[in-house]
Structure 1
Amino acid sequence: MEYDKQLQRIKNGSGFIAALDQSGGSTPKALETYGVSSDDYDNDEAMFDLVHEMRARIMTCDCFDSERVLGAILFEDTMEREVNGKSTANYLWEDKNIVPFLKVDKGLAEQMSGVQVMKPIPNLDLLLDKAKNYPVFGTKMRSVIYEPNVDGIELVVQQQFDVAKQIISKGLMPIVEPEVNIDSTQKHECELLLKTDILRNLERLSDEHQVMLKLTLPEEAGFYQELIDHPKVLKVVALSGGYSRTDACAKLKQNPGMIASFSRAFTEGLSKQQSDSEFAETINASIEEIYEASKV
């Protein structure tokens, strides 16, 4: 069964997960960084065409390979498009042996109690059913923590795990992502509360169930070791959160057992204007640096 093969790949394979899931709100910024200004498109459809072009260019690069890339997180629009004449998820899994994940959240609610919980996700079951039509292994959803507010952090983690259980019931692997903002003036205090809440929620999961965790690189080296070793955690992956690739990789190396799931740091330095060989050289250097940091 594909799911079991993918599970073994994520559990035992080496490499990192490329986050290629910028959605409506974050796509213009991702395109701008790539050298495509908002003057180059006049509606959402054209914008998504351009960002898919960028993602397809990355995925079809020879250096984007299963030796170093374990998985890729896709936006719903990307999942429904094609790469090299196949649906994106099929192309990744069948042609590249890279495990596809799907971003399922609909963005963040307004900030309150020092956090941003996820907006409601209407029709989540339908989206999960759609993902099951493709070789999609798991999902990803993001909340953000800014302050060490006990009630706020509890709310974030509880919501994440409630939705995770719904995802597990559909036979998919949830990546729970309660991001701690890297500019928080009390980042470590946030991380202390977050870890406690995650551990509490893991204990409430059925013994046969697992989740993945996507966490901000911590202030204290090795801080999430207890989560990495937890039997109900398949993998702990790190988000770059606005750190440069160099800084993110340096921090990652201080946290053995965590692997990267970078977005901005992964595509740093790529440009639409680059020739194919320049583009390949840039992405290869990025993949190598992140892979080496994830191997530690």
Structure 2
Amino acid sequence: MNADMMKKVCHADGFIAALDQSGGSTPKALKLYGIKDDAYEVGKVSMYDCIHKMRTRIMTSPKFNGDRILGAILFEDTMNREINGVPTAEFLWKEKNVVPFLKVDKGLEDEKDGVQLMKPMPKLDSTLELAKAKGVFGTKMRSVIKYANKEGIKAIVEQQFTVGKQIMAKGLVPILEPEVDIRSPEKAEAETLLRAELMEQLKMLRGDQKLMFKLSLPDVDDLYEPLVNHPNVVRVVALSGGYSRAEANDLLARQHGVVASFSRALTEGLQDDLTDEAFDAMLDTSIQEIFDASKASGIKKELHTHT
């Protein structure tokens, strides 16, 4: 494990940029960016070419660097490509001082017991070995909670930790993302159940097993403070989950010790047809607003004792 990357993720100010739209969410991201449906074929190389061009423009912008950004989560296709002739993960760390993470989940199962578990990942070990060889620091995997169903939430947390332990065994830091749907009619109750299950699973980790959480912004401020201050937890980050950037930043600033890991909220307003000057200005505003909200929320960060 890279000690410099760990130090940055643990202690530096900033947030994690989520640039990991997968095959299912890429068309929506491209549409918001101003790329019409007829410019590519869904699920084909042409689609991934379009999204890589968008991500390259973001990552090569002079406004995108480690001064305000801790890390970036990549889709596997992005990890396997290059930025300016340099492998993406290497470019992020060596050129931008941004820690690279990899999305490893393969999508969601159908809803059962109020949740959507992750689909099986039969090739996970080989993916992790490739990621490590490419200089990736950690991983991310998402599942979704729709309702406050105790059995479903227990199952989702157990699955996240089981796969997380497989990832930790390979020397990578997993980001566990059991997202609570912000449209859930039982959101607050589901979040309370989720916190309890996460704390139970943390009790079973060895001291050297380090992980992160990526969680929906909670209805109750500082609900996840026990996770923030837990010795096994490197960082707790928040997803925007469908909130606008302004809403997400406002909620985030009230969660002490939590920083952002925004996707759509980060790219909000970016358009393919913007001039480089206008694009960089828009990205700069977005990054600064998310950085400020993350920094406002981070005043308890000094309670961490990680090295």
TM-score category, normalised to shorter length: over 0.9
CA distance in 1 between partners of 2:180 and 2:277 (Å): 37
**Are 1:154 and 2:154 matched, yes or no?**
yes
**Alignment-derived partner of residue 277 in structure 2:** 277
Matches within 5 A, 1:199-278: 199-278=199-278
**Alignment-derived partner of residue 126 in structure 1:** 126
**Alignment-derived partner of residue 112 in structure 1:** 112
**Alignment-derived partner of residue 13 in structure 2:** 14
For 1:22, the aligned partner's letter is Q
Cα distance per residue 1:231-257 (max 9 Å; x no partner): 010000000000000000000011010
Cα distance per residue 1:238-281 (max 9 Å; x no partner): 00000000000000011010000000101000000111111001
Shift of 1:17: 0.2
**Are 1:80 and 2:80 matched, yes or no?**
yes
CA distance in 2 between partners of 1:64 and 1:257 (Å): 23
Shift of 1:172: 0.1
Shift of 1:134: 1.0
CA distance in 2 between partners of 1:42 and 1:114 (Å): 33
Shift of 1:37: 1.5
Shift of 1:42: 2.6
CA distance in 2 between partners of 1:74 and 1:157 (Å): 23
Q: Which stretch shifts more, 35-44 or 14-23?
A: 35-44
Q: Which stretch shifts more, 74-83 or 41-50?
A: 41-50
Shift of 1:208: 1.3
**Alignment-derived partner of residue 188 in structure 1:** 188
CA distance in 1 between partners of 2:163 and 2:36 (Å): 36
CA distance in 1 between partners of 2:40 and 2:55 (Å): 17
**Alignment-derived partner of residue 168 in structure 1:** 168
**Alignment-derived partner of residue 139 in structure 1:** 139
Secondary structure at the aligned position of 1:279 is classed as helix
For 2:10, the aligned partner's letter is K
Return 5+ residue gaps in structure 1 as ranges.
none
CA distance in 2 between partners of 1:66 and 1:17 (Å): 10
For 1:35, the aligned partner's letter is G
CA distance in 1 between partners of 2:222 and 2:105 (Å): 29
CA distance in 2 between partners of 1:144 and 1:287 (Å): 26
**Alignment-derived partner of residue 42 in structure 1:** 41
For 1:249, the aligned partner's letter is N
CA distance in 2 between partners of 1:207 and 1:151 (Å): 28
CA distance in 2 between partners of 1:30 and 1:131 (Å): 24
**Alignment-derived partner of residue 292 in structure 1:** 292
| Residues paired across the two proteins, number | 295
For 1:212, the aligned partner's letter is M
Secondary structure at the aligned position of 1:204 is classed as coil
CA distance in 1 between partners of 2:19 and 2:256 (Å): 24
Shift of 1:179: 0.2
Shift of 1:65: 1.4
CA distance in 2 between partners of 1:122 and 1:109 (Å): 15
Secondary structure at the aligned position of 2:203 is classed as helix
Q: CA RMSD in A?
A: 0.7
Secondary structure at the aligned position of 2:214 is classed as strand
Shift of 1:84: 1.1
For 2:138, the aligned partner's letter is G
Shift of 1:59: 0.3
**Alignment-derived partner of residue 305 in structure 2:** none
CA distance in 2 between partners of 1:132 and 1:153 (Å): 30
For 1:26, the aligned partner's letter is S
For 1:39, the aligned partner's letter is D
**TM superposition score normalised by structure 1:** 0.99
